[in-house]
Structure formats: C-alpha cells, structure tokens
Structure 1
Amino acid sequence: MDIRFLGGAGEVGRSAILVNDRLLLDYGMKSGNPPQFPGDADPDAVVVSHGHLDHVGAVPSLLSGDARPSIHWTPPTYELTLTLARDTLKLHGVSASGARGGSKRRRRFGGTMRCPFTETDVQRVTQVSKTHGYRETFEAAGHEVTFFDAGHIPGSAHVLVDDGETRLFYTGDFHTADQQLVSKTTARPDADAVICESTYSDVEHDDRSAVEEQFVESVERTLWEGGTVVITAFAIGRTQEMMLICEEYDIPCYVDGMGKQVTEMLQQYPEFVRDADAFRRAKSHARFVTGRDGQRRRIAEQNTAVITTSGMLSGGPAMTYIPAVRANPTNKIALTGYQVEGTPGRRLLDTGRAEIDGRVMPVSAGVEWYDFSAHADRDGLLDLLSEYGDSRVLVNHGDRCAAFAGELADEGYEASAPEPGDEVVV
C-alpha cells in the first residue's frame, strides 16, 4: 500500500492522505490569514473521517474541474460539510462563478486564493455523496472501507481501508473518554498499519467529571451574584456539549451563532449522539437567539448564560456579547476550547484584554478556561496504540509528531512521523 501525505503531517490542519493514488482520506483546510490547503489531488473516491474544517474544509474544491469522485462519509459529516462550506463562501464572499471583489487569482479550477471552491462546487457535493453507518463495509476506488465510531463528535469515524493486501487503520480524531454528547471509541480493528492523530500527545486531561463540576460551580456562583456568563464554544460539538451540561444542572442558557443550525441538524440523527432523549431535553431547555445585536445586548444584561461562537473570539455573535459584559467584574467569560496562539481568545487569556473588530478593550469580567477537549490525551493515545504493537505506526495531526513517534519507537513500536509530501509504502 502506497500512502502519500498531502497535508496534516507535522501540523494540525489541512489533513489529507492519498492511498494508492486513488483513494483520498480527508481534504481539510488550515485556518489562518491566508488559509492553507493540502497538495493537489485527483482521486477516484474520497473518504471523510468527520465534519471539522481541518478535515473537510477543502473537499468541494475536488469537484471544481471535470472530475467527479464519489465522496463517502456518515450522514452527520455530510451535513456538517455543507454547513461549513456555505459558511466559508459567505465569509469570503465567493459567488457561484468564483468571483470575489474583482480578483482574477484562482486556486485550482475555481474559487479564490482564500476559498478554493464556488457555490456550484458545493452543489456538486450533493450529487456525488454516499453516506454510510458505522461498521458497514463499502467499496471505494477499489478498496474495502469500514467506518467505526471515533467518539470525537457526532458522525466522527475511524476509517479502516483494505486494498486486498494491506489493512490501514486511519484513526481520524478520536476520544477514549465519554463526553455528554458522544460515547468514547472502543473500536480496535486488526490492521497492518495505523495513521494516528497526536494532538494531545504531551497532555493529560483532567478528569472530565471534575472539569464539569468546576465549570458548573463557577457559572452558578456568577449567576447567584447577579452576573452574566458568556460561554464561548465551537459550533460543532462543543456548543451541544455545553447545552447538555446546562440542562443537566438546570442552568438557564441562550444559544447563539452557527451552533443553533448544527443543533437542529443533529437532532435529525439521534443514533449518532450518546443519549437522544438528553439531547432533546437540552435543546428544549435552551433558548435560541433569533434577533440581532439589539437582542444580544439585552440578553447580555440578563442574569443568564449565553453559549455562543466563535470558540476563539475570532468572529460571530461573541463580538457583541464580549463588549457588553467586559466592564462588570461580576460577569464572566468562560472559554471552553483550545485557544490557538495568536487568536483573540488566546490574547484574552494571556493579557486580560479583548480584541474586538480591531479595537483592544480591557476586560474586568472574570476570564476562565476549561479543558472540554474532544481529543484523546497522551494516555488515551497510548491506550489505543497498545493494541497495535505489531503494526506500523505513522504519527500525524499534531505539533510534536516527530517527538511522539520517537517516544513510541523507544517503547518498541515501528513508528515514524511523515512530513508533508512524504510517500510511505507499507
């Protein structure tokens, strides 16, 4: 089996792996200014592990030319990909023809340098989409492929690829601990080679129940004191996780941003969440914000919690809520996701100042960060890999892939960390 790393090797973002020059695993984008994309590919078929931007963000661009590869995923991943693609088009102002602000610069066949696809390309995605459930083996580009629940977000999948000679286990992103929204992964299929994510290879997460207790205690104390809590959360997965926690502990909450649309969609696929009844109760418990900035400013004066995007304060309704609550020390801003270096959320944590629409504002409200990660930590990675002591291990999707691969090699694994563009034969 020939494996080529087009992106996601030695980095978090733009995951893309080409198998036997025919089957593409993921095709994401790396957010930034400007965003970054994987190397070019012309596959016969595409298999997508889950619906996060770094794994699906560039998928529609594969349909910009004459090629029409089939695209395989779970139903939630398909829906999430369309949601993210349309949001990307809106963010970068790309028309159906690919025009944007008169610029004639293009990447591949359509789109712009910042968005490599058009609305027409997104519409084509629906024409070539093929959805599959967990543990349903299907054929793609001459390979047998099987999805297994990865425990990361609804619809996330480990991908097992069999070309008749070699079995490759692509972990995608995964978690080995239960979350409120989804159950942990338990799948460990036989494989000759493993491509394993390593996002938190040097981190040990705190006990999940302890993190929840600390979060709930802090929010309840703030509300008891008369304050407002702005809970920043990623639209996919984290918003719904926070909704479930608020419902379980009877914390009054509003939900704003793209997380509303994602929540509505996920309710259509109850088999992909841990507890469909709890999810339904959480949706009923929350109040969805339907107005604009005027309503948001009024909500910010209420004694309540607001779950809103963006998770790193780089846009979204948070741009209204943060200025509205920042000056009152009784209020609180709870960051519930990883804050990448250089983002407004990270600067707020480090400096106590918020950058909103180019303006830097001092923040007197309390600022707290909680580790609600949906990724396996070091112990979780080692737990999964303990089943593959005789397999070739290729480490990707992390900031310290080479270091982790070296640590695995010291423990007796046949492990390495490919770099972008590398080709590996297993």
Structure 2
Amino acid sequence: MELRFLGGVREVGRSAILVNDRLLLDYGMLTGNPPKFPVDSPDPEAVVVSHGHLDHVGAIPSLLSGDRRPPVHWTPPTRELALTLARDTLKLHGGTYDCPFTETEVRRVTQVSETHGYRETFEAAGHEVTFYNAGHIPGSAHVLVDDGETRLLYTADFHTDDQRLVEGSTARPDADVVICESTYSDVEHEPREDIERAFAESVRTTLWEGGTVVVPAFAIGRTQEMLLVCEAHDVDCYVDGMGKEVTRMLRRHPEFVRDADALKRATSNARFVTGRDGQRRRIAEKNTVIVTTSGMLSGGPAMTYVPAVRSNPTNKVALTGYQVEGTPGRELLDSGRAELDGRVMPVSAQVEWYDFSAHADREGLLAFIGEYEDDQILVNHGDRCADFAGELREKGYEASAPEHDETVVV
C-alpha cells in the first residue's frame, strides 16, 4: 500500500492522504490569511471523508471541477456539515483566491455523495472501507481501509473520553498500519466535570455581579456542547452564528449524538438570535450568556458581541477551544487586546479559557496506540509530530512522522 501525504502532516490543517494513487482520505484547508490547501490537486477514483471540520472537508468541492466526478463517501452528518461549510466559504470568499471552488461545484457534491453508517463496510476505488465512531463530533469516523493486502486505520480526529454531545471512541479494529492524529500529544486534559464546574461557577459569578458573558465557540460540535453544559448547570443562554443551523441539523440525526433528548432540552433552553447587529447589541447589554461563533474571534457575530462588552471589567469573554497562534482569540489571551472586525481593541472585560477539547490528550493517544503495539504508526495532525513519533520509538514502536508530499510504502 502506498500512502502519499498531501497535507495535515507536521501541522494542524488541510488534511489529505492519497492511498494507492486511487483513494483520497479527506481534503481540507488550513485557515489563515491566506488559507493553505493540500500540496497537490489529485484526481482520485473516490474520496472518503472522516468528519465535517474545515481542515478535513474544506476543499472537497474543488475535486469536482471540470469532468471529474469521484464519489464522496461519508456519514450523513458529515455530508450536511461539509455542505454547510462550503456554502459559508462561498458566502465569505466566493470569487477570490481564498475559495478554491464555485457554487456549481458545491451543487455537484450532492450528486456524487454516498452516505454510510458506522460499521457498514462499502467499496471505494477497489478498497473495502469501514467507518467507526471516532468520538470527536457527531458523524466523525475512524476510517479502516483494506486493499486486500494491507489494512490501514486512519484515526482522523478522535476523543477517547465521553463528551455531553458524543460518546468517546471505543472501536479498535485490527490493522497493519495506523495513521494517528497527535494534536494534544503533550497535554493532559483536566477531568471534564472539573472544567464544567469551573465554567459554570465563573459564569454564575459574572451574572450575579450584573455582567454579560460572551462564549465564543466553534459552530460544529462546540456550540452544541456548550448548550448542553449550560442546560445541565441551569444557565440560560442565547445562541448565535452558524452554530444555530448546525444545532438544528444535528437534531435530525439523533443516532449520531449521545443523548438526543438532552440535545432537545438544551436547544429549548437556548434562545436563538434571529436579528442582526442591532438586536445583538441590545442582547449584549443584558445580564446574560451568549454562545456565538467564531471560536477564535476571526469573524461571525462575535465581532459584534465582544466589542460591545469589552469595556466593562464586570463582563467576561470565556473562550472554549484551542486558540491557534496568530488568531484574534490567541492575541486576546496573550495580550488583552485583539484585532476585531478590522480594529485593534483593548479588552477590559475578563478573559478566561476553558479546555473543552474534542481531541484525545496524551494519555488517550497512548492508550489508543497501545492497542497497536505491533503495527507501523504514522503520526500526523499536530504541531509536534516528529517529537511524538520519537517518543513512540523510545517506547518500542515502529513510528515516524511523514512530511509534505512524502510517499510512504507500507
């Protein structure tokens, strides 16, 4: 089996792996200014997508340009999330170099889409493929690929612990080689119940003092997780941004969430913002909680809410996810100021960060890899892939960290 790594190696973003020059696993983009895309535009016979985050699906429609029509295989939620993200990219960047596809190519995605549930083996480009629940977001999958000689397990993004939205990954299918993510290979997450408790207590304190709490959250997965956390801790909230549409969509796929009734209660507990900036500014003056995109303060309704609450030290901005270096969210954490909607603004409101991660930490990664002691391990999707591969070799594994456009024969 030949594996060509087109992206997502020694970095977090633009995941893309070509198997036997025929089957493409993921085809994402790395957000930034400008965004980055995989190092080549392959012409695969079929595409298999692990889950619906931009760094794994963001460039999928571009594979359907010209006469190319490879079938795209994914779970039902991943299909809907990919289309949502593609339409949002068109809305924000259509017609520019930041968007590698057209509206026509997005429409073609629906024509070539083939959906599958977990543990349903299907054929793609001459390979047998099976999805297993990866415990990352609804519809996320480990991908097992069998070409008749070698069994490849592509973990994609995964979590081994339960979240309120999805159960942790428990599937460990037999494989000969594993491509394993390593996002948090040097981090140990605090127990989720401790993080939730600290978040809820902090929010209640701010509300009791008369302040407003803005909770920037990724639209896919994190927004719904925060709605569930708020409902479980009797915290009323508003929800705004793309997370509203994603929440409604996930309600239509109850088999892919941990507790569909809990998500229904959390949705009822939240008030969906239907207006625009005028209504948002009025809400920002209320003694309330607002869960809104974007999670790294790089756009979305947060561009209205954070400037509106920034000058009052009683108010709070509670960041809920990893803040990539160079993003306004990271700048705010590090310096107390950030470029918001084109202007650098000091923020007097309290700024806090909570590790509501949907990825396995070091302990989770090592426990997962421990099930594959005799297999070849290829480390990807992290900022320290080579270091983690070296640590695995010291533990006796056959491990390495591929580089961009490297072909590995396994």
TM class by smaller structure? over 0.9
* 3-state SS in 2 of match to 1:169: strand
Alignment partner, residue 370 of structure 2: 386
**Structure 2 stretches lacking a partner, 5+ long:** none
- CA shift at 1:342, angstroms? 1.1
- CA shift at 1:328, angstroms? 1.0
Alignment partner, residue 20 of structure 2: 20
- CA shift at 1:354, angstroms? 2.8
Give a deviation string over 1:98-145, Cα, whole Å, max 9, x none. Answer: xx3xxxxxxxxxxx5221100000000000000000000000000000
Give a deviation string over 1:187-243, Cα, whole Å, max 9, x none. Answer: 100000000000111111111110000000000111111111000000000000000
* 3-state SS in 2 of match to 1:394: strand
Alignment partner, residue 52 of structure 2: 51
| C-alpha separation in 2, matches of 1:280 and 1:202 | 36
| C-alpha separation in 1, matches of 2:97 and 2:288 | 41
Alignment partner, residue 407 of structure 1: 391
- CA shift at 1:361, angstroms? 1.8
Alignment partner, residue 36 of structure 2: 36
Is 1:185–2:186 an aligned residue pair? no
Q: Which amino acid is the alignment partner of residue 92 of structure 2?
A: L
TM-score, normalised to structure 1, is 0.95
Is 1:268–2:252 an aligned residue pair? yes
Q: Which amino acid is the alignment partner of residue 298 of structure 1?
A: R
**Structure 1 stretches lacking a partner, 5+ long:** 95-99, 101-111
Q: Which amino acid is the alignment partner of residue 335 of structure 1?
A: L
| C-alpha separation in 2, matches of 1:191 and 1:28 | 25
- CA shift at 1:33, angstroms? 1.0
Give a deviation string over 1:132-182, Cα, whole Å, max 9, x none. Answer: 000000000000000000000000000000001100000000001110100
| C-alpha separation in 2, matches of 1:12 and 1:293 | 33
Alignment partner, residue 80 of structure 2: 79
Alignment partner, residue 66 of structure 2: 65
Q: Which amino acid is the alignment partner of residue 34 of structure 1?
A: P
* 3-state SS in 2 of match to 1:302: coil
1:358 to 327, 332, 342: 342
| C-alpha separation in 1, matches of 2:350 and 2:342 | 22
Q: Which amino acid is the alignment partner of residue 259 of structure 2?
A: D
Q: Which amino acid is the alignment partner of residue 43 of structure 2?
A: D
* 3-state SS in 2 of match to 1:9: coil
| C-alpha separation in 2, matches of 1:180 and 1:366 | 26
Is 1:327–2:328 an aligned residue pair? no
Is 1:195–2:196 an aligned residue pair? no
- CA shift at 1:360, angstroms? 1.8
- CA shift at 1:358, angstroms? 2.1
Matches within 5 A, 1:22-421: 22-38=22-38, 39-92=40-93, 94=94, 100=95, 112-421=96-405
Give a deviation string over 1:283-341, Cα, whole Å, max 9, x none. Answer: 01100000011111111111110000110111110111111111111111000011111
Alignment partner, residue 104 of structure 1: none
Give a deviation string over 1:331-368, Cα, whole Å, max 9, x none. Answer: 11000011111111111111111322222222111110
Alignment partner, residue 2 of structure 1: 2
Q: Which amino acid is the alignment partner of residue 273 of structure 2?
A: V
| Deviant stretches of 4+, over 3 Å | none
TM-score, normalised to structure 2, is 0.99
| C-alpha separation in 1, matches of 2:215 and 2:21 | 44
Q: Percent identity?
A: 78
| C-alpha separation in 2, matches of 1:157 and 1:118 | 27
Q: Which amino acid is the alignment partner of residue 151 of structure 2?
A: R
* 3-state SS in 1 of match to 2:123: strand
| C-alpha separation in 2, matches of 1:80 and 1:196 | 23
Q: Which amino acid is the alignment partner of residue 21 of structure 1?
A: D
* 3-state SS in 2 of match to 1:333: strand
Q: Which amino acid is the alignment partner of residue 31 of structure 1?
A: T
Give a deviation string over 1:7-47, Cα, whole Å, max 9, x none. Answer: 11111111000001100000000111111111211000000
Q: Which amino acid is the alignment partner of residue 36 of structure 1?
A: K
Alignment partner, residue 109 of structure 1: none
| C-alpha separation in 1, matches of 2:6 and 2:340 | 35
* 3-state SS in 2 of match to 1:334: strand
| C-alpha separation in 1, matches of 2:34 and 2:65 | 20
